[in-house]
Structure 1
């Protein structure tokens, strides 16, 4: 079953989680329903791509209103394709919400067990990975491009939660909209890095298509990393939505040749 359901033109939600866990808001925005123009039309939520800052802020206010989660409660990251994950608190609210320079530096993942914080990250093909440990009230989200994926940022989140007493068996994961294996072609350099972390895995998440060229399934690779980290298979949901295939719904860095907008992952507990 596809975990992401389109609630309106501007975003999709992780419906099984939101039905199961009252007070949770979790999902992924689309490219429609905003005010940006040209290659950023219309709901670009990334400050760092060359769009008008006033338009990005207006788009963020649109999403904040639709989610009923005020912009001053959002937290945003610099995102440098590394494996640093940060536990955030209410003291971090507003960082990166309306100005990129104020975002939390050197970070590609957030987690928290506090209410009233919306964790947000930007994407245009990379993999959003959502985490929840309902018995502990812990939630998190990652930005995993190929660099973060092969450096095992997904395992980094699991290990960070383990330090808070949360075991892999307590964690549920959803892997969100991102580029699919048919659209994502990589070279030997990337595949060699993948092989290094999956030496004992039979089913490889890549296929040779031409000399020195491979199709790589980043979602499947992250799922395998999560399984190796101890997350039960039945507690991992994976989308079928591809950011590159669906040009009507999503921005795509590869499809749009680098000049494009960004979608936003979001997860947070509303204050009750």
Structure 2
């Protein structure tokens, strides 16, 4: 298994790919900050419409990214992420919702799932953990946004559980990709957040929290989501981890922390062929 950046052969556009997802069944990709038309703090492939970038430039960026993925422009579905753990099941009637107008995006949701072919799901990130899920047997997919609040609320586990209930998926068949996110090297949290994770995930504590010399903690969000997926029944050999820290690599990916809070958003896209 591996995660690598692949050239889309247009205007310095690079797309992150996991080897775990069969190309004959799924289209997927994670954007970088390169290859777009935005400027300044949002240079250049900002895909977030909610960060005070010029909307027309973001729309162009989204079209550029979908072209690079080989997907029809405007065909995706997006949501208004709120750092929670709500999940929405997307149907064909939702095609295009939120692609060019943020106010039309599905509200109060941090994970999207579907079993509709040709309906790309797209979520946005700038340090939070992208979680991509695909069942090649039931032909169902999900994409989840694992910020610290959503991770604490079990967004990864809940998305798998939703797919099992809604589509009849078996966890041992589900493939997962955990994308670039802020790593424990750069993600320091206070005692209150750390205690919340200790309480929610007592079996994970030694794996996900390391105390600093200043009395705070380094929290490993990607690892926490990985362990949730394992706890929910996914096989270790079916989980592909990027192991890329967005804060350490903020010239390649947008990072809310490393960029001082004013920055763009990368996107994770997943679609059934």
TM-score by structure 1 length?
Answer: 0.94
State which of 81, 87, 90 in structure 1 corresponds to 2:89.
87
**CA–CA distance in structure 2, aligned partners of residues 59 and 198 of structure 1:** 38
Give the distance between the partners of 2:53 and 2:39, measured in 1 at CA: 8
Which residue is equivalent to 1:6? 6
Deviation at 1:204, TM superposition (A): 2.5
1:181, 1:76 → 2: CA distance? 28
Question: Map of 1:164-243 to 2, 5 A cutoff?
Answer: 164-201=167-204, 203-243=206-246
Structure 1 counterpart of 2:36? 34
SS at match of 1:96: coil
| C-alpha separation in 1, matches of 2:205 and 2:149 | 22
CA distance in 2, matches of 1:263, 1:202: 29
Q: Secondary structure at the match of 2:60?
A: helix
User: 2:145 is paired with a residue of what secondary structure?
Assistant: strand
Pair 1:63-2:78 in alignment: no
- Alpha-carbon displacement from aligned partner over 1:132-153 (angstroms, at most 9, x marks no partner): 1100001111011000001000
1:265 lines up with 2:268 in the alignment: yes
For structure 2, the residue ranges without an aligned partner over 5 or more in a row are: none
Give the match for residue 249 of structure 1. Answer: 252
Deviation at 1:4, TM superposition (A): 3.2
Contact 1:4–1:27, Cα closer than 8 Å, also in 2: no
Q: Which residue matches 1:78?
A: 80
Moved more, 229-238 or 25-34: 229-238
Q: Deviations over 1:236-264 (max 9, x none)?
A: 11112111111221110000111000101
Query: Would the aligned equivalents of 2:25 and 2:136 in 1 still touch at CA under 8 Å?
Result: no
Displacement after TM superposition at 1:199 (Å): 1.6
The separation in 2 between residues aligned to 1:209 and 1:60, in whole angstroms, is 40
Deviates more, 1:135-144 or 1:203-212: 203-212
Secondary structure of the corresponding residue to residue 176 of structure 2: strand
> Secondary structure at 1:220's aligned position in 2?
helix
**SS in structure 2 at match of 1:174:** strand
What is the alpha-carbon distance in structure 2 between the residues aligned to residue 50 and residue 72 of structure 1? 20
Deviations 1:165-190 (A, max 9, x none): 21211211111011111111101111
Matched-pair contact (CA < 8 Å) for 2:123–2:269: yes
Aligned partners of 1:71 and 1:94 also within 8 Å: no
1:129 to 103, 128, 131: 131
Shift of residue 25, structure 1, vs aligned partner: 1.0
Distance 1:72 1:212, change over 3 A: same
After superposition, the CA RMSD in angstroms is 1.5
- Asked if structure 2 preserves the Cα contact closer than 8 Å seen for 1:17 and 1:24, the reply is no
**What are the within-5 Å matches in structure 2 for residues 82-121 of structure 1?**
82-121=84-123
Q: How many residues align?
A: 269
Q: Which runs of 5+ in 1 are unaligned?
A: none
